[in-house]
Amino acid sequence: MSLTLLSNGILTTVQDLGRYGARRYGINPGGAMDTKAVRLINILLGNDENEAVLEMHYPAPQIRFDEDVIFSLGGGEFGAALNDSPVGNWRPVFARKGDVLKFAEKRSGTRCYLALKGGFATEKWLGSAATNLKARMGGYQGRALKKDDILEYSEQETEDGSARQIPVTDHQFPFRVSFNLVPRYSAFPTVRVIPGAEYELLSEETRRGFVEQSFKIGLQSDRMGFRLAGKPLKLEKPHEFISSAVSFGTIQLLPDGQLIILMADHQTTGGYPRLAHIISEDLPLVGQLGANDGIGFHVVDINQAEDLVLDFERELNFLKLGVNLGAPASCRQ
Amino acid sequence: MNITPLGDNALTVTFGNVISPELNDLVLAADAVINNSPFNGLIETVPAYSSISVFYDTRKIKARMDKSSSSFEIAKANIQSSLAGLVKVENKETEVIEIPISFAPEDAPDLELLADESGLTTAEQVIEIFLAQTYRVFMLGFLPGFSYLGEVDERIAMARKESPRTLVPRGSIGIAGRQTGIYSLDSPGGWQIIGRTEMEMFLPGEDPPTRLQAGDQVRFIRF
């Protein structure tokens, strides 16, 4: 049971929802940049939501399935086709032995996820399958995937009938994740933030500059962080901070007045002023951005941020329930 | 003690904004207290120089608690009560870990520069001052297994480079201000490199996965 990469992608790694408990050793959680996409497609397939997936950037690799498998794509939309017949995101797709998955063009987003029903057979490091490129650990031999790599996957449960009894037209099952669960991706989102510890040190004028202007995602942007370009912001007075922990979604103010958003592979600690933090609900929108996209910020309070987390969880429970019942009305198209 | 949100799933308890062994002792005591009796929803703690950050799962805190207060408020209250009356634990007589360093020119590209900048006459003097002291591991961060040690003698303290190197080899020992640190992996970096060790600092197959832990005592010896 395996799949084979027939070509190189620009950056394809095994990820899950992250590695927790090791930040104290300088080991960041890593994991998917868009955790909502990963959770949604794993749940859709009946997997544990933390099951390992492939995170692909465009150009993405061609993938041949060497055994029958049910898979799902989510996140960025890369014009996927299975043996030249188009397959959409957010739905289960049945691939037969020898079928080839290709990606024709980048239509939206920056990262597309591939989940398999049953998951990949990966070896976990410190409790997670996420690839830590810096430590060269986790995922597939601790590195990005390349042409000719073969990834094993778990035994498929298609023979017992449950999946095969659902009619498959053009490979696709006739249900999908409902639209209200799919993040509202945009190449220029306004995302909500809560103030960081040093937000109060900014002048009124600088705070206005933070929320009233839009920023461009710079070219030096990757899984570690996004450099933003905009009108420089300044601190009231120069301030030095002793290094302390930072997080996925922390927005730091650099000495030159520019901002950086820390992303999944961020360093565990930092000493730059923590201006704000992107709320969990909106972080997946940021995880789909790439160089030359734009972003704006809107400040909310922590209660609102937490309520949004719980709201999404409630919606997600409906999807879990629906999948357990075998695709009922709540996730039918 | 100041507690602020670090996003909507973490908070930071700050004891001060200076590097001092006393504050770091408090941080490590707090780390032990929080982890020895974890509250429901605790994910992990990250001790730093003079602060500790606590990551938690909002869903677990809110699920069973009063909906009128935020998870942040609940977690904060929890931590405040467990840290009330926090006293620094008496330092156990920790074994001093010896780390052999090579000061060969290829391993120490900034040694001469540091000697010049500090007004000392030779690199040898820098080495002697550096080796004379026992260092405390204040925290780990930046890279898997990268340790921040201090404090470096004022005479050989030096600001980091204005423009970082694109590659600092694994094992390099650098100085930044009065901190010294060991690059556990090949990495870009801006610290002034004064030597290099062959000792592995990052031990991915072991538990814990790092040679040094916060609170350890270290002595460098000439290799």
- Looking at the complex, report in whole angstroms how far the Cα of residue A312 sits from the nearest Cα belonging to chain B: 11
- The three-state secondary structure class of A305 is helix
Q: What is the mean pLDDT of chain A?
A: 91
- Looking at the complex, report in whole angstroms how far the Cα of residue B49 sits from the nearest Cα belonging to chain A: 7
Query: In which residue are the tokens 């970082």 written?
Result: B164
Higher pLDDT, residue A253 or B90: A253
| Terminal CA-CA length for chain B | 43
Distance CA A105, CA A14 (A): 22
Q: What is the pLDDT of residue A203?
A: 86
Average pLDDT over residues A314-325: 87
Question: Angle B71-83/B21-36 helices, nearest 10 degrees?
Answer: 110
- Looking at the complex, report in whole angstroms how far the Cα of residue B124 sits from the nearest Cα belonging to chain A: 30
Show residues of chain A in contact with B184, CB under 8 Å. 26
Q: What is the pLDDT of residue A165?
A: 52
The residue in chain A having the minimum alpha-carbon distance to the alpha carbon of residue B212 is A25
The residue in chain B having the minimum alpha-carbon distance to the alpha carbon of residue A266 is B142
Are B70 and A303 within 8 A, CB to CB?
yes
Q: pLDDT tens digits for B151-180?
A: 999 999 999 888 889 999 999 999 999 999
List CB contacts of A47: < 8 A, sequence separation 6 or more: A115, A117, A118, A119
Size (chain A), residues: 333
Mutate to test the interface with B, among A191, A237, A244 (most CBs of B within 10 A): A244
Would you state the torsion angle of the CA atoms of residues A121, A126, A128, A133, taken in this order, to the nearest 10 degrees?
-90
Buried b (16+ CB within 10 A) or exposed e, B159-195: eebeeebeebbbbbbbbbbebbbbbbbebebebbbbb
Distance CA B179, CA A324 (A): 55
Q: Are A176 and A87 in contact (CB under 8 A)?
A: no
Q: What is the pLDDT of residue A331?
A: 44
Q: How confident is the model at residue A332 (pLDDT cuts 50, 70, 90)?
A: very low
Distance CA A5, CA A136 (A): 20
**DSSP string across B170-216:** TTEEEEEBTEEEE--SSEEE-SEEEEE--S--B-TTSSSSBS--TT-
Average pLDDT over residues A49-65: 98
Are B142 and A267 within 8 A, CB to CB?
yes
Query: In which residue are the tokens 């030779």 written?
Result: B122
Closest Cβ–Cβ partner in A125, A268, A305 for B141: A268
Is the pLDDT at A65 greater than 50, yes or no?
Answer: yes
Q: What is the pLDDT of residue B164?
A: 86
Q: What is the pLDDT of residue B176?
A: 93
Q: How confident is the model at residue A200 (pLDDT cuts 50, 70, 90)?
A: confident
Q: What is the mean pLDDT of chain B?
A: 93
Q: pLDDT tens digits for A137-152?
A: 999 999 999 999 999 9
- Looking at the complex, report in whole angstroms how far the Cα of residue B157 sits from the nearest Cα belonging to chain A: 16
Closest Cβ–Cβ partner in B8, B44, B139 for A309: B8
Q: What is the pLDDT of residue A326?
A: 64
Q: What is the pLDDT of residue A328?
A: 42
Phi-psi region of B26 (alpha: psi -120 to 50; beta: other; left: phi over 0): alpha
Is the pLDDT at B92 greater than 70, yes or no?
Answer: no
Show residues of chain B in contact with A303, CB under 8 Å. 70
Average pLDDT over residues B23-36: 95
**Which of A162-166, B44-48, B99-103 is predicted with the least confidence, judged by mean pLDDT?**
A162-166
The residue in chain A having the minimum alpha-carbon distance to the alpha carbon of residue B186 is A134
Closest Cβ–Cβ partner in B50, B51, B141 for A26: B141
Show residues of chain A in contact with B146, CB under 8 Å. 26
Mutate to test the interface with A, among B8, B19, B139 (most CBs of A within 10 A): B8
Q: What is the pLDDT of residue A330?
A: 40
- Looking at the complex, report in whole angstroms how far the Cα of residue B99 sits from the nearest Cα belonging to chain A: 19
Is the pLDDT at A244 greater than 90, yes or no?
Answer: yes
Element spanning B111, H or E: helix B111-118
Q: How confident is the model at residue A163 (pLDDT cuts 50, 70, 90)?
A: low
Closest Cβ–Cβ partner in A126, A135, A242 for B49: A242
Show residues of chain A in contact with B71, CB under 8 Å. 306
Q: What is the pLDDT of residue A123?
A: 87
Show residues of chain B in contact with A277, CB under 8 Å. 5-8
Average pLDDT over residues A203-231: 93
Query: In which residue are the tokens 């060969």 written?
Result: B104
Please state the ipTM of this predicted complex. Answer: 0.94
- Looking at the complex, report in whole angstroms how far the Cα of residue A92 sits from the nearest Cα belonging to chain B: 28
Q: What is the pLDDT of residue A296?
A: 98
Distance CA A199, CA A106 (A): 37
Q: How confident is the model at residue A333 (pLDDT cuts 50, 70, 90)?
A: very low
**Which of A254-263, B59-68, B94-103, B192-201 is predicted with the least confidence, judged by mean pLDDT?**
B59-68
* DSSP-based helix, strand, coil % in chain A, nearest 5: 15, 30, 55
Q: How confident is the model at residue A220 (pLDDT cuts 50, 70, 90)?
A: confident
Q: How confident is the model at residue A169 (pLDDT cuts 50, 70, 90)?
A: low
Is the pLDDT at B46 greater than 70, yes or no?
Answer: yes
Are A242 and B43 within 8 A, CB to CB?
no
The model carries a pTM of: 0.93
Closest Cβ–Cβ partner in A24, A196, A250 for B44: A24
Higher pLDDT, residue B88 or A2: A2
